[in-house]
A and B are shown apart, each in its own frame.
Chain A
Amino acid sequence: MDLSGLSELRYVKREDGEIKIGALTTIGDLERQVDNSAWAKFLNDVITKFGSPNIRSLATIGGNICAASSSEDLIPVFLALDAKVKTLRKSGTREMLLQEFLVAKRKTALYADEILAEVSFPEPSGRAACSFQKLGMRNILIIALVSVAVFLETDDSRSNIIQARIALNRLKGKIPQRVESVEKGLLDKRLDEHAIKSAVERLGEELTLTSDFRASSEYRCEAVKVLLRRALVDCQQNILGK
């Protein structure tokens, strides 16, 4: 069944302090949302590494999320944005957190007669900094060996971190998930070299990443630490640049 004609589910809007994205919005549609905000930069980070322009013309946000695969790049980004989803069926709509929607690898909470309608997340404040880092065998049209998405928000004086959400993919046997112990370690700290170093170390202690023909678990565990460092340094520059 082809849903692509349902233009009602193809939108990006700002409403009630949230950014709402219709499930049939294509990746290419998002690419055209030029905006200087932290969330737009975040989405842009992932979109420019997503498939190829040809693929982005057809691939939708909803399709990507519902695939619920362990290699998905958009899912870590939406997890870091604290996204929730809205589903739609004849008898009504449901809302749930993205974490709850993603039940297991290749399995979502959708009923047989239900579709994903919308993904939304709270509009980040001007004190937010985000970064998405992906490692693949080349730059484009490539599945991630591992990806990391980081969302940070600092206090009013732009010094201490008051919110941190870090999500990654390629976890062994799992869909992309947040790493809460690493997030907690960053709270109430300045994002300096010391904080970055200890976050990277903590991530190294935490993880079991998948092993497959593309890369070993050992390689991924080393690589993911580098990606987290790059993401945190990128956030640091965003914060300092403001």
Chain B
Amino acid sequence: MPASMRVTRLLLEPVLAIMLSLVALAVLLAVSGYSVPAALSALWHGAFGSWAVLASGTLVRATPLLFAGLAVAVAFRAGILNIGAEGQLLAGAAAATAVAVTVSPQLGLAGAGLALVAGVAAGGLWAGIAAFLRQQFGVLEVISTIMLNVIMLHLTGLLVRGPLQEPTATFPQSALIDQALRLPRLVPGTRLHAGVVLAVCSALLVWWFLRSTARGFRLRMTGANPRAAASAGGIHVARVATSAFIASGAIAGLGGAVEVTGVTFALYENLSPGYGYTAIAVALLARLNPMAAIGSAVVFGALEAGAAAMQRDAQVPAGMVGVAEACVILVLLASEWIGARAGRISTLFWGGPPPTQHSVTPSAAVDPA
């Protein structure tokens, strides 16, 4: 396939998916009796209305989505269906908070760095449980990561009512993280923090890793066809898959750590409004490409920020945006099929050009072993 065609297709389908989903949203709004122009205008203004809104709303929300989206992309590319970014993100947030409220504020940015490292470790560890269960006991990671998400949610609830509760012990949340240990603001007067730079750098790093390193190549091969990777490539498939799983959790954990040190400054139960699940849509819209995930995270960040504005200004339930997000995924899945019918059947199979370039989903979604 010529490069120009590939780029067109790479852009065409996501744009189509977003537009169709906005149409679905408009229809749903109309059916529910809301004023479609008023609601969509509130959505737009809440997402892109001004520089301040763009920075404080859209980009701030895009940051955890990008981290979690990268986590999903890395795992899916390795053929691991990690649905657990939500729990791994929370684990990272909890660990980072624990460190940040313990260390001396005099450490400054180094202290913030420590908190981020703790987040990475906790996210990796939480994913590591699922990776271990998969490796040692053959427990489907889809089931185990969903279970671990719920367990982490309740664990967070336990932490903010117990060991990590704020000093007055009245509210179910942790103490506020000291000013000195917070991530610096990028633009004064907005909520935009240094974490967004970290997220973009992570995206570039993951992109480079997958594209240009031998380990990245082994990861992609493991995801594309584990049996061929093992027999023809001599790749230690199990080890690669486990590492990718843990790395995926670590990235999500970093996202959680960035969220508490950059945005919320405290740990509480409903820290994530489902970032880990929306991340699946983020990764799919980007066709599992880490670079494209930057744009895709901004799109979903805008949707989330716009949804909040829509609820505030047009009294439209924010859940409606969840419907739009689900539509994005379903339309993308369907468009892959339509694309295939248009004479590109070869890309359906592992034999074609690198499958992850074209396929929304890993070919070997479920390891038959």
| Co-assembled chains A and B | no
Chain A interfacial positions (CB closer than 8 Å to B)? none
Chain B interfacial positions (CB closer than 8 Å to A)? none
